[in-house]
Amino acid sequence: MSKTAVVFPGQGSQVVGMGKDLYEKFDLAKDIYKRADEIMEMPLSKISFEGPSDLLMQTHITQPALFVHSYILTQLIGDKIKADATAGHSLGEYTSNVYANSIDFENGLRLVKKRGELMKVSGVKRPGTMAALIGLNENQIDEICKKAKEHQIVQPANYNAPGQIVISGDVEAVQRAMKIAKEDPYNSKLVKQLPVSGAFHSELMLTSSEELRVTIDKMEFKNANIPIYTNVEAEPIVNHDIIRNSLFRQLMASVKWQQIITNMTENMNITKFYEIGSGKVLTGLIKRIAPESELHNIGTAEDLLKYNI
């Protein structure tokens, strides 16, 4: 029997104006944004709705803004979509944990707030960057990173889809890797440095990771209601201790998105995916990983109407 998964976007999917239509149309959205503004101790709703975009793009604001937007949509959807499993890309894994009831919304947002703040600080303490390398396989990426290191850090950060891998690390090492990737024998189709404030999912996040563990350990987690395919393992997890450990490890480890989707389709027979939140980044990746899948996006009040929600 075919099954359904709900997936949640991460950083890079944010757009100014997201959530405004939900706020204007639903009292539930107003209430949640009010709670979120209080927990964040800043006008998160106003920044989500009005920007400016350079403020919304700052990691300590981007992450909670995406998290709250996706969460509101899940509350409006309710049980009209019944998911057999869930996953989220990087930050989106926190949303999937709230969706699977392993942690509640308020504590989830507090964790996301702390994560964003720590990642911002790490980006200042240990400046780094990220780059997308298109058209190369995992072995080639490993070779390139090895050649480019020169006593610095550069490593695969996101295995997004076949031929789409993001690397992360020290600025000079990442730029060396970009140069190597463009040349023989690799000849990458596209090499692009990403507009990020740090080397996320790399060893440069070590200080953030250790501090994040302290916050995670203070939070109450429960076993998940449905399996969460975690970024670190790419396997279905329900145990609260493994979930907790996965969120801690995730900050320095690679996001195994391609493997997550492959495992979902092959091991659980998931054939239908709903991306809940801003943008269609994950839908585009899933289309490349599992082209036979049935794909849906719900990110706006109009989308809710389209699905009779």
Model pLDDT, residue 307: 86
First to last CA, the chain: 24
- Cα 15–66–83 angle (5° rounding)? 120
Query: Does this model's pTM top 0.85?
Result: yes
Tell me, what's the pLDDT at 76? 98
Let me know if 151 is a catalytic residue: no
In the chain, where the domains are located: 3-123+204-306, 128-197
Give yes or no on whether 3-123+204-306 and 128-197 have one common fold: no
| Digitized pLDDT (tens) for each residue of the chain, 309 residues in all | 889 999 999 999 999 999 999 999 999 999 999 999 999 999 999 999 999 999 999 999 999 999 999 999 999 999 999 999 999 999 999 999 999 999 999 999 999 999 999 999 998 999 999 999 999 999 999 999 999 999 999 999 999 999 999 999 999 999 999 999 999 999 999 999 998 889 999 999 998 888 999 999 999 999 999 999 999 999 999 999 999 999 999 999 999 999 999 999 999 999 999 999 999 999 999 999 999 999 999 999 999 999 888
Report the CATH superfamily, name and number, of domain 3-123+204-306.
Malonyl-Coenzyme A Acyl Carrier Protein, domain 2 (3.40.366.10)
**Pair 60, 69: CB distance under 8 Å:** no
Say which of 48, 90, 197, 254 is annotated catalytic.
Answer: 90
- Told to judge if 246 belongs to the known catalytic residues of this protein, a careful annotator would answer no
> What is the pLDDT at residue 53?
95
Query: What is the number of other CB atoms lying within 10 angstroms of the CB of residue 184?
Result: 6
For residues 184 and 252, give the distance between their C-alpha atoms in angstroms, rounded to a whole number.
Answer: 30
pLDDT for 304: 96
The pLDDT, as a whole number, for residue 1 is 85
As a whole number of angstroms, the distance between CA 229 and CA 237 comes to 6
- Which one from 168, 201, 208, 293 is the annotated catalytic residue? 201
CATH code of domain 128-197: 3.30.70.250
| Residue written as token pair 């997936």 | 7
pLDDT for 3 equals 98
